[in-house]
Amino acid sequence: MSTATVSDRVFNFSAGPATLPLKVLQEAQEHLLCLPGVGASILEISHRSPPFEAIIGGAEADMRKLLGISDDYAVLFLQGGATTQFSMVPMNFLNKEKSADYILQGAWSKKAMGEAKKHGNVNVVWDGSSEKFSRVPRPGEFTASQGAAYLHMTSNETIEGIEFHHDPDTGEVPLVCDASSDFMHRPLDMKKFALIYAGAQKNVGPAGATVVIIRKDMLDRQVEGPFPTMLDYKKMVAGASMHNTPPVFTIYILSLVMKWLLHDIGGLDKMHQLNQKKAGLLYDFMDQSGGYYKPHAQKDSRSLMNVTWRMRDEDLEKKFIKEAKAAKLDGLKGHRDVGGLRASLYNAFPYEGVEALVGFMKEFMKNNG
Ligand SMILES: *Cc1c(COP(=O)(O)O)cnc(C)c1O
């Protein structure tokens, strides 16, 4: 069997699944054969066993502590990815007699909207397409429609690299947020949100679980069913994510990531500061590059999680990606729909990796002026 060690690890800028804290991987590796005190692997025990109940309960408790989630909300670990939430949200809260507001701000919100249209009326309250999805709406640039079933936003558009740096106020209209690619990268004003969903594989764990935080009064707003059981928020809340076998391994890793956020990072304020420092280093350098590296996002919407930029021409971009990979800076190719380059700097991505990237970019610019 060939082996690889920690020193073989590259700086991994992948957009998702994405880099995880080394400490989490090491603990999982150490305990994979046998969980302490359990006598078996996390992969082999029942999801109804006390050890697993402690793991899922711990993950939820730590998430509640980190985000300040009150008892008014239920926390769920579901399957089917954020993409299933694109359907589950409108299926539960929208029908042909109702309408929902959508902010059209990039590739993922467009997909979410497409699913909603199958269930009811969709009202686009803000459209960023004429600015090539280079920013999110500014405070006050949209208003929720009176009587809308909900308003849907995407806190971070992963492909374009634009992000909300404020939590919008939608008054009486329930605010639903796809937070897949920036979940827990900063504290949230939880009371503004009625429902938040996030695929785990970008910022809080491996693929396989979708976190859903839902305000319990939303359950009273469900439209007439019937819904497939697995797509019924009421049943999922009643079953506390255990209606059927949940993705146990993903939840286990996620529980370790929560501990890392709490005890190693020291909470979401600290995490936010670190994320600002990481992305700031890269954006500042690009701003001083005389247009050699051109960030896609407008300044007030720049994502801390996915930094996107263009260069003079595609050949130069290809050369950059190839040479970066050889320098152990991997995963920098932009999404196939928009091209260019993208450095994903999620929570677990280390500051040293950004320093290494900026060092490489300086050198590349010198050699390819
Ligand atoms: C990745 C992503 C999705 C899709 O997530 P899946 O878990 O693959 O379904 C949805 N929304 C955003 C913002 C994403 O970044």
Write out pLDDT tens, residues 28-69.
999 999 999 999 999 999 999 999 999 999 999 999 999 999
What is the CATH architecture of 27-263?
3-Layer(aba) Sandwich (3.40)
The residue whose CA is least distant from atom 14 of ligand 1 is: 180
77 beta partners: 211
Q: What pLDDT, on a 0 to 100 scale, did the predictor assign at position 95?
A: 97
Radius of gyration of the chain (CA): 21
Rounded distance from Cα 81 to ligand 1 centre (Å): 7
The residue whose CA is least distant from atom 12 of ligand 1 is: 180
Write out pLDDT tens, residues 234-286.
999 999 999 999 999 999 999 999 999 999 999 999 999 999 999 999 999 99
Q: Where are the domains of the chain?
A: 27-263, 267-367
**pLDDT of 230 over the 80 cut:** yes
Which of 79, 83, 103, 197 should be mutated for ligand 1, with most atoms under 8 A from CB?
83
**pLDDT of 1 over the 90 cut:** no
pLDDT band at 336, cuts 50/70/90? confident
pLDDT band at 337, cuts 50/70/90? confident
CB of residue 180 inside a 6 A radius of ligand 1: yes
Q: What pLDDT, on a 0 to 100 scale, did the predictor assign at position 3?
A: 87
Cis peptide before 226 (omega within 30 of 0): yes
Which of 109, 157, 158, 346 should be mutated for ligand 1, with most atoms under 8 A from CB?
158
State the CATH class of domain 267-367: alpha beta
Question: In whole angstroms, what is the distance from residue 103 CA to residue 153 CA?
Answer: 6
Q: Which atom of ligand 1 is nearest to the CA of 83?
A: 9
* Chain centre to alpha carbon of residue 249: 19
CB of residue 206 inside a 6 A radius of ligand 1: no
Residues acting as catalytic residues: 108, 178, 202
DSSP SS3 for 54: helix
- Parallel, antiparallel, or unpaired for β 306-310 and 294-295? antiparallel
Q: Do domains 27-263 and 267-367 have the same CATH topology?
A: no
**pLDDT of 338 over the 90 cut:** no
Burial of residue 365 (CB within 10 Å: 0-12, 13-18, 19+) is: middle
Q: Rounded mean pLDDT of 124-153? A: 97
Q: What pLDDT, on a 0 to 100 scale, did the predictor assign at position 284?
A: 98
Write out pLDDT tens, residues 57-104.
999 999 999 999 999 999 999 999 999 999 999 999 999 999 999 999
Rounded distance from Cα 310 to ligand 1 centre (Å): 23
Q: What pLDDT, on a 0 to 100 scale, did the predictor assign at position 369?
A: 86
